[in-house]
Structure 1
């Protein structure tokens, strides 16, 4: 045991004894750790530098400058080498610095190598594992290196942090004054005015079981059972997202409702030929040509996006929740229709079974499997490949579920991402 670790351990023992027990159980010896030198030096874990190798203090000051100087509370995600903690604590306006560990083994290793007692002993500091909390705290700074190195236990919070950091970039296609957005909304205005308000569907299925069907690869395992259920006289209501519509029809499964929100959806995804008995629920950014050709009933609503502000005032319709993916309004619709329990099919948010989507070729609906560089934990506790936007969509669905405790949510598969707030369905998830 190094001299640094003894002092650090004593500081943690005095304030957070249970936390020290957890840190002592971390396997820091398994880490691939190297000293990296430049004008200064830093620690590299699996090729990821924890800090600058040239001037750690200057880097920490630049990071601190991005945070509100007058905030009495700051949340720091990642422990680094202790540099940012020290800089933040120089601010007399700071009353509490909550440090959230993103990788327990990395922090345990740093405690062995460097003296961290100065910030550990500061009474304004609170320390804990990020994964102990269900949600991120604001305002925050997340150390970039530890967003990459986050361990399995803290992965859910890592995903929320990355989603929050990328929020402005993800919304770049939906600028309020974009000419493309304005043109699409203008072209759909007449249909929005004449089509039924989605609110007319709210409350029409009280207590009913509703299946919400997405396009994840695990959906393929359920085609046969869904076909059997669809043929029953007394059955759940079937709501599917737009990209699941064609694969379902191909399998002889006719959904009751299709939900579409994306301006990129075309007739390839929503062929109109067999749609006479199927309800389409849409947002105004959907291609008007798709809407015109649809043979069944059409219902329209809005999301909370500012792109719909003016149209909402001129043509009032109800609102559905959208968190980046069509899965969100589909689930929200099920809840607002009165569902007592919702079973999710194909809601994988990942690429299990080395596939991207059910019923589509690799890359037809977006990036190819080979482009997946990120991961989430599946229902077996294993890492499964995914992409960043899928992780963001998962975060938003989990937040929605947490906000509706009276509805029971079931996941039909363990092969995709584990969805917090859901229970694995005893029949479908076998």
Structure 2
């Protein structure tokens, strides 16, 4: 035990004994740690620099300046080398600084190498593991290096932090002043005016079980089950997302309801033949060619997006929750229809078995396996490849589930991402 580790540890043990109990057994020896020299120096962990190697103090000052200067409470995610904490503690108006550990082994190593007592001893500081809380806290600053280095225990909070940080960037293409959006909405007005309000479907299946079917690779495990269920007289309602429709039809499984919201969905995804007894729930950004060709009953819904603000005033319709993916309004529709139990199929938010989607070739729906640079934990607690937007969609679904405690949510597979708030279906999950 180094002298620094002993002194830092005594202080943490005195103030946060449960945190120290965990830190003291972290395996920091497993990390590849190197000192990196520049105009100054820093610590590199597994090839990731914790801070600038030129001027750590100036970097921390820039980071501190990005936070609200009048906030009495600030949250810092990641511990770094302590520089940002020291900068923030110089603010006279700061009453409480919450420091959330994103990688316990990294922090344990820093405690061995550097004196951290100055900020750890400040009575305004509270020290937690980030994963001890289910949600991110505002206002916050997340150290970029530790968003990359976050360990398994803190991964869910890392995902929420990255999703929140990217929110404005991700929403940029949903600008109501975008001429392409205006043109598409104008082309859909005729159908919006004529088609039914999705609210007519609400409370029509009170107490019924609903299967919500997405297009993750694990869906392929359940084609036989879904085909058999579809033939039963008394069975769950089958709601599928647009990209799952063709794979289901090709397997002889006809859903009851299809939900679609994306302007990129075409007749290739939603062929209209044989759809006379299938309900379509859509949002006005969907290609009007697809909507007009649909033979079954059509229902219109909006999201909370500002692109629909004028249409909402002209033609009031129901609103469904959208958090970036069509899985969200499909689940929200099931809840608003009155489902007491929802089982998710193909809701993987990841690429299990090195595949992107069920029933489609690699790259057919956008992402390719070779581009997967990120990970989530699957139902077995193992890391599985994914991409950033999938992690954001997962975060929003988990938040939605947390806000609907009266509905029982089941996951049909352990192959995809672990979905907080769901239970693995005792008969279906593998």
User: Is residue 373 of structure 1 aligned with residue 373 of structure 2?
Assistant: yes
Match of residue 302 from structure 2: 302
Classify the secondary structure of the residue corresponding to 1:160. helix
Cα distance per residue 1:75-125 (max 9 Å; x no partner)? 100000000000000000111100000000000000000000010010110
Match of residue 153 from structure 1: 153
Cα distance per residue 1:191-212 (max 9 Å; x no partner)? 1111100000000000000000
User: Is residue 112 of structure 1 aligned with residue 112 of structure 2?
Assistant: yes
Match of residue 46 from structure 1: 46
Match of residue 422 from structure 2: 422
Classify the secondary structure of the residue corresponding to 1:154. helix
Q: 2:305 & 2:12 partners in 1: Cα distance?
A: 45
Cα distance per residue 1:315-344 (max 9 Å; x no partner)? 100100000000000000000000000000
Range 167-176 or range 49-58, more displaced: 167-176
How far off its partner does 1:214 sit? 0.1
- Length-normalised TM-score, structure 2: 1.00
Classify the secondary structure of the residue corresponding to 1:171. helix
Q: 1:187 & 1:367 partners in 2: Cα distance?
A: 29
1:305-384 to 2 correspondence within 5 Å?
305-384=305-384
Q: 1:252 & 1:231 partners in 2: Cα distance?
A: 11
User: Is residue 5 of structure 1 aligned with residue 1 of structure 2?
Assistant: no
Classify the secondary structure of the residue corresponding to 1:203. coil
Match of residue 228 from structure 2: 228
Q: 2:416 & 2:140 partners in 1: Cα distance?
A: 29
Q: 2:221 & 2:367 partners in 1: Cα distance?
A: 23
How far off its partner does 1:369 sit? 0.4
1:171-186 to 2 correspondence within 5 Å?
171-186=171-186
Q: 2:268 & 2:9 partners in 1: Cα distance?
A: 61
Q: 1:265 & 1:123 partners in 2: Cα distance?
A: 55
Listed as ranges, the gaps of 5+ residues in structure 1 are none
Q: 1:193 & 1:146 partners in 2: Cα distance?
A: 50
How far off its partner does 1:310 sit? 1.1
Q: 1:224 & 1:301 partners in 2: Cα distance?
A: 32
Q: 1:43 & 1:341 partners in 2: Cα distance?
A: 50
How far off its partner does 1:4 sit? 1.1
Match of residue 272 from structure 2: 272
Match of residue 413 from structure 1: 413
Range 375-384 or range 182-191, more displaced: 182-191
Q: 1:249 & 1:136 partners in 2: Cα distance?
A: 41
How far off its partner does 1:190 sit? 1.3
State the aligned residue count.
430
Q: 1:104 & 1:237 partners in 2: Cα distance?
A: 45
Runs of 4+ in 1 over 4 A off after TM superposition: none
- Length-normalised TM-score, structure 1: 1.00
How far off its partner does 1:168 sit? 1.0
Q: 1:105 & 1:152 partners in 2: Cα distance?
A: 11
How far off its partner does 1:274 sit? 1.3
Q: 1:338 & 1:329 partners in 2: Cα distance?
A: 14
CA RMSD of aligned residues (A): 0.5
Q: 1:421 & 1:150 partners in 2: Cα distance?
A: 22
How far off its partner does 1:169 sit? 1.2
Q: 2:138 & 2:283 partners in 1: Cα distance?
A: 31
Match of residue 238 from structure 1: 238
Match of residue 30 from structure 1: 30
Match of residue 393 from structure 1: 393
Match of residue 85 from structure 1: 85
Q: 1:97 & 1:138 partners in 2: Cα distance?
A: 11
Match of residue 254 from structure 1: 254
Q: 1:303 & 1:406 partners in 2: Cα distance?
A: 23
Match of residue 288 from structure 1: 288
Classify the secondary structure of the residue corresponding to 1:301. strand
Q: 1:424 & 1:101 partners in 2: Cα distance?
A: 29
Match of residue 94 from structure 2: 94
Q: 1:94 & 1:288 partners in 2: Cα distance?
A: 54
Listed as ranges, the gaps of 5+ residues in structure 2 are none
